[in-house]
Amino acid sequence: MNEVAVREPFEGNEVAVERVNNVTFDGLKNSNNVMFCTLPMNTPEEKMHVFHVAQNPDYKVEDIVNTKIELTDVYAEVATLENGDNVPRIILVDKEGKSYACASFGMLHSLEKLFGIFGAPHYETPLKVTVKKVKTKNGSTFTLDIVK
């Protein structure tokens, strides 16, 4: 299984990095100080790319519903809504480095299943996925489907 960089809660200006084999998103469900990232962050250029992905994603997931992308990486963090609720903010990254953002528990659950079956990213051979928007009792949510 691939190893993943998981950022633990922030303490001052330092971020602890832990290498894990079994990916869990528990921190994204329960905290507002956790970041999950599978993009490499070894060089200044890679760190700038991660910052760009996190700060200025290229697209909204809403804009690519029913569109196939070739997934290689994932960035996730907790976002706090205006009403104070915490939601997972997830950014999918394709093989071209384009990023697609959403705030969705459905997407979080899809990624948990995806990682459980295929292992955690980084995927050298991209996974072909399609973003789906499904109705829920409270509106709608995003999920992923595998494309052959």
Looking at the DSSP assignment, which residues form a beta bridge with residue 5?
19, 37
* pTM for this entry: 0.80
pLDDT of residue 111: 93
How would residue 86 be classed by pLDDT, with cut points 50, 70 and 90?
A: confident
Tell me how far apart the terminal alpha carbons of the chain are, to the nearest angstrom.
Answer: 22
Q: Is 93 exposed, middle or buried (0-12, 13-18, 19+ CB in 10 A)?
A: buried
pLDDT in tens, 27-79: 555 554 567 889 999 999 999 999 999 999 999 999 999 999 999 999 998 88
pLDDT of residue 28: 55
**Which of 72, 26, 79 is closest to 54 using CA atoms?**
79
pLDDT of residue 11: 38
Domain ranges, residue 85: 4-146
- Residues 117-130: what's their mean pLDDT? 93
How would residue 6 be classed by pLDDT, with cut points 50, 70 and 90?
A: very low
Q: Indicate whether 9 pLDDT > 80.
A: no
* Domains contained in the chain, number: 1
Q: Indicate whether 17 pLDDT > 90.
A: no
Q: Indicate whether 10 pLDDT > 50.
A: no
Q: Bigger pLDDT: 83 or 53? A: 53
| DSSP-based three-state secondary structure for 115 | helix
Q: Indicate whether 15 pLDDT > 60.
A: no
